Structure 1
Amino acid sequence: MEIELIKCHGSDNDFFIIDEITHEYVFTEEQRAELAKALCNRGSVLGADGILYIMKSEHADGRMRVFNADGSEASMCGNGLRCAGRYVCELLGTKEAIIETMKADLQVMEQTEIYSDVSTYLVEISPVSFRLEDLPLKLNTETLLEEKIPELSENLIFTALAVPNPHLVSIVDKEMLQTGIQEELSKKVNSPNQWFPDGVNVSFVNSLSPGNIYVRTYERGVGFTNACGTAMSASTLVTCLLELNELETPVNVYNNGGKVQCVVHKADGEYKIDLIGNATFVYKTMASVDLTNYTFSIGAKSDFGEQAAYSKLQQEAKSFLNQHLQG
């Protein structure tokens, strides 16, 4: 089977777009998962964090399904949604669109460039829930807001929330970032455990200065990733709850892949978050895939010529982080 692939990324959280709107691809659920495992394997000639299947929607401008590198399906992906949203907007010749995701229809809008020549989109991150049953997290309480889970750590303080992906967020100092505690903890809660039956994304957050935070995320189904859009959104919300940052005010969120901006809104007691960042298209190629054993070969790669501009943003972000995390 010949499949057109577009390699893209948001904050270096990278994906392959497979367009089921203009192509007559027909995949079973097993094939979607196995394709993700095969094409996203970093040991192959391709490699990525996941696949974005762009599909027709009965009520929105398009539908996005996200399959992680391990074949699991994510309910949402903020970095992926920027890329999917850009793709649908360009397909329709518009600057904004509504994209159907697993749990909500979300708005995507083209924005002023976050950095010169870097294609930038805003995506809505919602719904937000602090109910542990929505993650799910099995504790004898309804919410976990700046509290300890002694069985996981005697020192760390956590907030749990779904946006709608499940997240466990801890504000930490620079020294804690240098330890292996995050990896140890993350592997524990993403293996069979008594607390998170479906696993959870684990973020360590450092407040760099007012309006600037650093987020490092261990993403379920992926592991440590350069950036996780819903994690950066959830982490920004937590810093606003702790009054480290302010509602309705852009926060620069630095990550290992660059940076984005997040704005937390509150209306009628409900939160939603704007996630603003790059939607960079890297290259296009054709993959010839044998769907009986999921082996594949690829043709020539056609470069979009967009990565150089994003690399400059990365350099500036890295310099800023070095100044604040190593000082």
Structure 2
Amino acid sequence: MHFTKMEGCGNDYIYINCFEEVVNQPEKLAIAMSERHFGVGADGLVLIMPSENADFRMRMFNLDGSEGEMCGNAARCIGKYVYERGLTKKEEVSLETAGGIRYLALNIEDGIVKTVGVDMGEPILEAEKIPVIHGESPVIGKRIAVNGTEFVFTCVSMGNPHGVTFVEDTAKFPVEAYGKLVEVSPLFPNKTNVEFVQVLSRNHINMRVWERGSGETLACGTGACASVVACILNGLCDREVKVSLIGGELTITWNEEDNHVYMSGPAAFSFDGVWLKEV
């Protein structure tokens, strides 16, 4: 089975072109291929598929085999893949995901996709739709106790659930210790991605992320979007924000006119390969 390794700000996935390949057990294949010693090594597996409702369809699986609704970094990588590998000549591409249809704008120079902008749609703030179990909705700057430790969270869905909390120094914060507890808290029926945010200015934040089903990753596109929405809702940032992640930088804009969140950032090929093991 042929595959391509790609990364967006260090958030690395294995991509399989399902116009040419057949994947029968994607959950098991995601676990096997994502393993960094006996597999290819990645944050998960992404399938690029035909769609009846958009130009392409994306299915993404975390390294534990669970399927996610949406991944912003993967969406950008798909934009680069389908254009540079000749699956489309369009510079604006629609992408079906489990979290809804997303629209990609490709920034192309000399036939190379330099960056990809993604219309991530409207943020979902209703508690029951995220979902998060809380007495109030929306959940903005609310105290939530997790295993005896209190956090102040703002909860947002960008097609997948996010809990955003603010810290003094992301570099020193014990992300793993707390991220894995918040992820599986009964307050989040579908588990949650957890973002730890340090506000540097009205237009710049640092963010580290504990991704549901994968652990800490170098970047998370939907998490960056959710974090900026949380910053704006709490009066901490303006409408366009640079998000510094361990693996790189994204620009996130929450447009006041259409209420959509727009993300722009890089995508890169790492290598192509052939998977020989049976699953």
Same fold (TM over 0.5): yes
Cα deviation, 1:207-244, whole Å, max 9, x if unaligned, reads 12231110100001000100011000110111222333
- Deviation, 1:39, is 0.4
Instruction: Give percent identity, aligned residues only.
Output: 33
Asked if structure 1 preserves the Cα contact closer than 8 Å seen for 2:122 and 2:261, the reply is no
Structure 1: tracts of 5 or more residues without a match? 295-327
Larger Rg computed on CA atoms: 1
The answer to whether 1:75 aligns with 2:69 is yes
Whole-angstrom distance in 1 between the partners of 2:114 and 2:44? 20
* Matched residue, 2:163: 168
* Matched residue, 1:111: 107
* Matched residue, 2:7: 9
**RMSD, matched Cα:** 2.0
Asked if structure 1 preserves the Cα contact closer than 8 Å seen for 2:155 and 2:230, the reply is no
- Deviation, 1:177, is 4.9
- Deviation, 1:86, is 1.9
Cα deviation, 1:79-118, whole Å, max 9, x if unaligned, reads 00000122223321221200111131111011378xxx98
* Matched residue, 1:129: 124
Name the CA shift for 1:112/1:61 in 2 (closer, same or farther; >3 Å): closer
The answer to whether 1:286 aligns with 2:279 is no
Identify which of 37, 40, 49 aligns with 1:46.
40
- Deviation, 1:169, is 0.3
- Deviation, 1:185, is 2.6
Identify which of 177, 180, 187 aligns with 1:187.
180
- Deviation, 1:194, is 2.4
Q: Which runs of 4+ in 1 moved over 6 A?
A: none
Whole-angstrom distance in 2 between the partners of 1:279 and 1:236? 21
- Deviation, 1:246, is 1.6
Name the CA shift for 1:138/1:244 in 2 (closer, same or farther; >3 Å): closer
Whole-angstrom distance in 2 between the partners of 1:130 and 1:287? 41
Name the CA shift for 1:85/1:52 in 2 (closer, same or farther; >3 Å): same
Hey, which of these two has a bigger chunk of strand by percent?
Answer: 2
Whole-angstrom distance in 2 between the partners of 1:159 and 1:210? 18
Asked if structure 2 preserves the Cα contact closer than 8 Å seen for 1:88 and 1:97, the reply is no
Name the CA shift for 1:151/1:26 in 2 (closer, same or farther; >3 Å): closer
Whole-angstrom distance in 2 between the partners of 1:105 and 1:151? 33
- Deviation, 1:133, is 1.2
Number of aligned residue pairs: give it. 275
Cα deviation, 1:145-183, whole Å, max 9, x if unaligned, reads 011113556653210011111000012212x75242x43
Where 1:283 maps in the other structure, the secondary structure is strand
* Matched residue, 1:266: 256
Asked if structure 2 preserves the Cα contact closer than 8 Å seen for 1:89 and 1:96, the reply is no
Cα deviation, 1:277-303, whole Å, max 9, x if unaligned, reads 11101111111231xxx2xxxxxxxxx
Alignment of 1:1-327 (within 5 A): 3-21=1-19, 23=20, 25-28=21-24, 31-90=25-84, 91-111=87-107, 119-151=114-146, 156-174=151-169, 177-180=171-174, 182-191=175-184, 193-247=185-239, 249=240, 251-267=241-257, 271-290=259-278, 294=279
Hey, which of these two has a bigger chunk of helix by percent?
Answer: 1
Structure 2: tracts of 5 or more residues without a match? none
When normalised by structure 1's length, the TM-score is 0.79
Where 2:152 maps in the other structure, the secondary structure is coil
